[in-house]
Structure 1
Amino acid sequence: MHPQLESIFNEAENRYLKVEELDPLDQYVTSLPDRLQTYRVLRDRETTIMQAVADSLVTAFPNEKHERLERSIKHAMLVLRYAAMGMLLEDEAFIQNRLKGWLAETVKAYNTYDIERKLYTLLDQQLTNFLNSQQASLLQPMLNLAQATLLGEDQEEEPLTASALGW
C-alpha cells in the first residue's frame, strides 16, 4: 500500500480523516483505474515486449555468451514486474526493498553493465509501443528507480528519464 496512505490510516484509527488527509487518498483512488490498466497491459504483453527486447539485445551483442544475455533478460523481466507492482501500489519502497542488494551485486559480479544499459534502452523503446504517454508517466519513475539501483549510484551514466525518452 502507498506508504503515505498507510500512515494516514494508522494515524486516524480513532477519528475521522481530516480534509488534508483525504487529498492523497483521493489522488490515489482517482489514479487507480489508470494504474490498473497500465498493470494489465504490462502483464498481458510482457512476453511480447521482452521477446522484442531479447531479439534486439542478441543483435546488439552478437559475440556475447548466450547465458550472460539470458541472465540479464530474466532480471529485466523481474524488474519490470516489480516496477509494475510498485507503480500499482504507488510505492517506491516496494522496488527498493525487492531490488536492494542482490540485483546490483549480480550485475557487478558478472560485469554486465554494458548489457544492462543497452537492455534498458531497448526496454524503454519497446514500452513506447505498448503504453500511452499517461501509462508511461506512471511506470517510468519506478523503472528509473530500478535502473539507478541496478546500475549503482557510482556509474557515470544516469538512468534514463521520461523526458530523455520524449515522454
Structure 2
Amino acid sequence: MQSPIDGIFDEAENCYLKPEELQAIGHYVVSIAERMSAYRALRDRELELIQQAADQLELEMPGVETAVLERAIKNGMLTLRHCGMAMLLNDPNFVQKRLLNWLKDSIELHQAQGADAAFFGLMKQQLQQSLNAQQMALLEPFLTQVETVIPAQQKEEMLTIAGIF
C-alpha cells in the first residue's frame, strides 16, 4: 500500500518534482498539524464517544441480541480508527485497502446491517458533537467512503391503504 505522497517521493529519483507535486507536498506539510490535532482528539475522546453511541444503540434496539450489538460497536470502533489513520496520512486508499472489503464481508456474513448502520449513524452524531468543524471536515471524506459499504439505516414504513393502490 502506498500513499499518494509516497508515490511523489518515489518519482523524485527519476526527475525533479513537478509544480503540482511540490504543491501536493506543500499542502500535506501545511495540513499535518491540523490532522495531528484531529487525530489526537479522536484518540483522546474515542472511549467516551463510542460509549455514548453504544448506550444510545441499546436504547434504540432493545430487542437485538447483545452479540449483534457488540459486533456493531466493534465494527464502528475499527472503522473510526481506520478513518482516523487515513485522515492523519491524508490517504483515502488506506480506508479502501485496509477496511472496506473486510467490513463489507463482515456485515454481510453476520447479517447485521441494521445494527451496523444504526451504530455508524450514532457514532457520526457523537463525532459531530465531540469534534470541532475543522476536525470533522478533515475526517468526513473518510467516513463518506465507509458509507458506500454500510447501508443507510432503513426507517420502517407504515403500510397505508393509499400506498397499496
After TM superposition, the score normalised by the length of structure 1 is: 0.85
Change (3 A) 1:12 1:45: same
After TM superposition, the score normalised by the length of structure 2 is: 0.86
- Partner residue in 1 for 2:145: 145
- Distance (whole Å) between structure 2 residues aligned to residue 79 and residue 57 of structure 1: 16
Q: Radius of gyration: which is bigger? A: 2
Change (3 A) 1:55 1:7: same
Unaligned runs of at least 5 residues, structure 1: 158-167
Q: Which moved more, 1:25-34 or 1:140-149?
A: 140-149
- Distance (whole Å) between structure 2 residues aligned to residue 2 and residue 131 of structure 1: 28
Unaligned runs of at least 5 residues, structure 2: 156-165
Report the alpha carbon displacement of residue 14 of structure 1 after superposing the two structures with TM: 4.7
| Residue pairs, 1:128-167, within 5 angstroms | 128-151=128-151
- Distance (whole Å) between structure 2 residues aligned to residue 102 and residue 10 of structure 1: 29
Change (3 A) 1:2 1:139: farther
What SS does structure 2 have at the residue aligned with 1:101? helix
2:75–2:116 CA contact under 8 A, matched in 1:
no
1:36–1:88 CA contact under 8 A, matched in 2:
yes
| Residue pairs, 1:21-32, within 5 angstroms | 21-32=21-32
Identity of aligned residues (%): 40
- Partner residue in 1 for 2:43: 43
